[in-house]
A and B are shown apart, each in its own frame.
Chain A
């Protein structure tokens, strides 16, 4: 009896069991005869053969292959629609030792993601893109894709694609091959055994190039979609051969070494050096100004655009930085530059900040009534609200939150410019919280405000806010 050995079996790059619907964990979610499974197998085999499993990051797209992370036992990121090559860019730059694969369909890459793929290729990002082209939107039920053939019927071109209305099929390989930077671009097809083996070779070559740090590589794979094309799996495979290859010729469109020209690199300097703070005496770093305050401040500042809401947040963040705190500043504003609503989030902490987004602030600065009404209920018990008026509306009552009426805009107006109301608020906030020192505020203002008249006004405003709080009756503080 002859001894048999396994020559082809499930790749170890696939999970043994897929973490999906309970009864179907042993098979993929793809339709019978789908091209995705074949490409998945070719990629998995190559990753295993090249011993890259431990350092591969697979970026799945939106489309039928959105769930690729169910199958590949590698690092996985699922990108927003069309953005796989942009996400892959970030991953590769952050982790240059990783093998980063962007896997995208034609609806993803050639429609909503056209800009991302063109620019990733043009920058020569050393990633590998596998572009699965089946000439249709499969997952959403068969709408026309940019790659749909002329005359091909889809749900959105029920009488066939007409170039005079819908344009011509987009040839991505040819388009990208006009760029300088890509090193390898090839189009292959899953039309028959021979072409599948060519696809295998192309996939291997692309990943070898990335392993060797060569540059941007893309393999387009013409792939059958039997379900949406309304064909049997074998008919669909033949349709790839007869119709798709005729419109999308197979072959190597780019295979060359690309040497990036030498150019002067920006000097590697720290932020402090760039800002010219490194030479200055490190007054902000002296223990005298280093904050002893260990509390965690989550400050939300809200008002109309133009009230200096975002700037106030920036000043607070820079003050925190100068006092050696961890800081974050997250702006949020509507499309209007003025009189729209704007708010920002500032975190000041002695520990690392997990998220710059604040859902429940412990300090709310409400520069107008709308903001007060909108955000007051989100303030945590024990927190405080600074409201830009002499009195708080009678119907606003937040249990366990101290509400201070600070007429900042009014005080600023008396000083000569209502626009420094945000700085009045800063003075009040520092006095009420003790989170940061007002000396640091003066230092930051001196660095930020170049106009000496305006600086003098800002310093007056800062003191006005502080003094207003000091004259409040003690029990109100």
Chain B
């Protein structure tokens, strides 16, 4: 089984203007230009799906306020509340 990446990045293809700064800045080089043009006529950035460390550099070099959202693996919760425990049990 593959190791779960530490992070995950989500790029909104409608907000991305395809400047490529995030692709150039990404340390693990896990962002690429989308082959297809977006409705706005640019090749938006796309996460290849693995390798993200959740470092957030792509977020800070990106000029668009909401184009990039970065996720990171949550640290294991120390105390689980009753509702969360209940929800986890049903999943």
Enumerate chain A interface residues (CB-CB to B < 8 A).
Answer: 1-11, 14, 26-28, 30-38, 40-42, 44, 71, 192-193, 196-197, 200, 226, 232-234, 237
Known: A27-B14, A233-B21, A237-B21. A4 touches B66 (CB 8 A): no
Does B73 count as interface, using CB distance less than 8 angstroms? yes
Known: A26-B14, A193-B60. A3 touches B73 (CB 8 A): yes
Contact across chains for B71 and A6 when beta carbons are under 8 A apart: yes
Give A398 to B15 CA distance when docked, in angstroms.
60
Contact across chains for A4 and B71 when beta carbons are under 8 A apart: yes
A196: B residues at CB distance < 8 A: 60-61
Known: A26-B15, A193-B25. A40 touches B74 (CB 8 A): no
Give A225 to B14 CA distance when docked, in angstroms.
22
Interface of B is mostly: loop
Which residue of B18, B63, B66, B71 has the most chain A CB atoms within 10 A of its CB atom? B63
With contacts defined as CB atoms under 8 Å apart, how many contacts are there between chain A and chain B in the complex?
Answer: 105
Contact across chains for B70 and A7 when beta carbons are under 8 A apart: yes
Chain A, Cβ-Cβ closest to B25: A193
Contact across chains for B65 and A10 when beta carbons are under 8 A apart: yes
Does B4 count as interface, using CB distance less than 8 angstroms? yes
B74: A residues at CB distance < 8 A: 2-5
Contact across chains for B69 and A10 when beta carbons are under 8 A apart: yes
Contact across chains for B65 and A71 when beta carbons are under 8 A apart: yes
Contact across chains for B24 and A9 when beta carbons are under 8 A apart: no
Does B54 count as interface, using CB distance less than 8 angstroms? yes
Contact across chains for B70 and A37 when beta carbons are under 8 A apart: no
Contact across chains for A4 and B73 when beta carbons are under 8 A apart: yes
Q: What's the least CB distance linking B41 to chain A, in Å?
A: 11
Q: What's the least CB distance linking B34 to chain A, in Å?
A: 14
Does B72 count as interface, using CB distance less than 8 angstroms? yes
Supply 24 A–B pairs (Cβ within 8 Å), ascending by A.
A6-B69, A6-B71, A7-B54, A7-B56, A8-B70, A9-B66, A14-B65, A14-B66, A26-B15, A27-B14, A27-B15, A33-B21, A34-B63, A35-B63, A38-B60, A38-B63, A40-B65, A41-B59, A41-B60, A71-B65, A193-B57, A197-B60, A226-B19, A234-B24
Give A28 to B15 CA distance when docked, in angstroms.
8
B59: A residues at CB distance < 8 A: 8-9, 41
Contact across chains for A38 and B14 when beta carbons are under 8 A apart: no
B56: A residues at CB distance < 8 A: 7-8
A14: B residues at CB distance < 8 A: 65-66
A233: B residues at CB distance < 8 A: 19-21
Contacts of B23-49 to chain A: CB distance below 8 A: 24-25, 40, 42
B64: A residues at CB distance < 8 A: 27-28, 37
Q: What's the least CB distance linking A324 to chain B, in Å?
A: 53
B72: A residues at CB distance < 8 A: 4-5, 7
Chain B, Cβ-Cβ closest to A15: B65
User: CB < 8 Å: which of A8, A30, A38, A197 contacts B69?
Assistant: A8
Given A32-B42, A193-B61, A233-B20, 7 extra CB contacts under 8 A: A3-B74, A5-B72, A9-B59, A14-B66, A26-B15, A27-B14, A197-B60
Contact across chains for A2 and B73 when beta carbons are under 8 A apart: yes
Give A444 to B64 CA distance when docked, in angstroms.
62
Chain B, Cβ-Cβ closest to A197: B60
User: CB < 8 Å: which of B17, B25, B57, B66 contacts A10?
Assistant: B66
Chain B, Cβ-Cβ closest to A193: B57
Chain A, Cβ-Cβ closest to B8: A4
Give A40 to B65 CA distance when docked, in angstroms.
8
Give A234 to B7 CA distance when docked, in angstroms.
24
Q: What's the least CB distance linking B74 to chain A, in Å?
A: 4
Chain B, Cβ-Cβ closest to A28: B64
Contact across chains for B70 and A9 when beta carbons are under 8 A apart: yes
Which residue of A11, A33, A197, A232 has the most chain B CB atoms within 10 A of its CB atom? A33
Known: A1-B4, A193-B57. A37 touches B62 (CB 8 A): yes
Known: A37-B64, A37-B65. A6 touches B70 (CB 8 A): yes
Which residue of B17, B20, B54, B67 has the most chain A CB atoms within 10 A of its CB atom? B17
User: CB < 8 Å: which of A7, A11, A33 contacts B19?
Assistant: A33
B67: A residues at CB distance < 8 A: 27
Chain B, Cβ-Cβ closest to A38: B63
Chain B, Cβ-Cβ closest to A226: B19
User: CB < 8 Å: which of A8, A26, A28 contacts B63?
Assistant: A28
B65: A residues at CB distance < 8 A: 10-11, 14, 28, 37, 40-41, 44, 71
